[in-house]
Structure 1
Amino acid sequence: MKIPIYQIDAFTKTLFGGNPAAICHLPYWLDDQTLQNIAIENNLAETGYFVKKGDIYEIRWFMPHAEIDLCGHATLASAFVIFNYIDSAINEVTFSSKSGILKAKKEENGSITLDFPSRPPAPVKIPDEVFNALKSKPIATFAARDIIIELCSEEDVLNEIPDLSLLKKLPYLCIILTSKGRNADFVSRVFDANGIIQPEDPVTGSAHASLVPFWAERLNKTTLKAQQLSARKGELDCKIDGDRVFLSGYSVPYLTGEIEI
């Protein structure tokens, strides 16, 4: 069996920037272990899979160690693949996922806008592990699927070297450091305390499902610019409307090929 595979750099205009995702266009769903093995073999933060069912695409996302419920950059990359390699006549695609219906729209400027569920975080007591793992003093912590740690400044976010070994026992998928930005409304860095291959994620769309409502309320605005301060860097144009978050960004293709299994 031969499976088309694409590697796309998402949330960037520049090759080798943003967040790389491997995207596989499947004719039908393979068993979960095979999907996991492909993700392990790809050795990227995320491998996205989609299968066309009628007018929509079912989509799933696998890290090298587990399937997750929502991934922004691999959804953006999947939409890029569909718009550019599968059906160039359409301007919008609907995905069915474990997080409900997601949409992606091709914009006139070449960017793609994702329509995701908003996941507003709630205040939580700052865990002792956070105090011990950071050299910067956290202002407050908030949580949904991920834990958001607010720091005083962009410099604190950029210069922090968290001790992830102290954060592994926290019951969250991602550890997010954030603050107001100098050249953006807010900045962030995102870590997976259990990530063996890549502890820091270059650009994390799903984390912005919580970051956008958090900063929209704090800054009293519904349209925001975000920067993720990883080594590869990422930029997102964000908007919140009710219980939906809209994330816009660009993608750049790196490779196309086939997997043979």
Structure 2
Amino acid sequence: MVRAENSMIPDYEDVGTGKAVVFLPGMEGAKEFWHFQAAVFKEKYRAISCSYIRRQPKLSRTIAEYAADIIRLLDSLHLEKAAIIGESFGGVIAQELTLAYPQRVVVLVLCNTVDRARSENFGVNMFTLATFIHPLTFFFPKARRKAILTWVGKHRGFVMDPSPGNDQLAEYILEYGLLPGIGGYMDRIIAGIKVNFTTKLETVSVPTLIIRGSEDRIVGPKTVAELVGRIPGAELALINGGGHCCQQTKPEATNRAILEWLERQGY
């Protein structure tokens, strides 16, 4: 476990040796999100799992500031370039990195993410209700929280899914879901909601893999199809039975998809 001494550099975990693979988590911003991946990737790669700097909300905040944090981390580790793998909010940061610092990104993996703010699957349905219930979990007694997240997963609410792996995702959320605080979440929402990479993605020139859990209702099939179509040469890997956080609920399938693709890219 490594903690950056410079407050402008994100905390991170650095394990293994070889070519660098940098993992960017979702909006909760915990490096621990990637522990199923780091445990496997370290056998072949230098696996660097990042957290995000906790900020107070600022209306002028942009995703470029979060990307700049990652660049400072790469600089502190003396890494000229790396494979970048981003989940959800981390995938948005990964897109910014690739567009703004193309010389620093060798290959790109975008997991369950979007190119701009979308509301594809929201409406009068159980997904919307379960998504609304999800953040209320922490207002319930601790003994009830996991059961509530299990119910949310049954209806594919927010980041949950109905797979057996939803249990370990619930454990992760209960431990790290409050990490950023309300202010930290607001700051990330402010930065993320301004993003619109739609017309810029055609300039991405690095090999790109797009991962989607088949049960993900935050990032729907239409969004992913458009994302794949906009990035030249992008490939899609569908994780059957996984949801928005398939790295947690379907880690073996997710790891296999990414590792096999990296090998095909000669990385």
Query: Shared fold (TM-score greater than 0.5)?
Result: no
Structure scoring higher RCO (CA < 8 A, sep ≥ 6) equals 1
TM-score by length of 2: 0.31
**Which one has a larger percent strand, Structure 1 or Structure 2?**
1
**Which one has a larger percent helix, Structure 1 or Structure 2?**
2
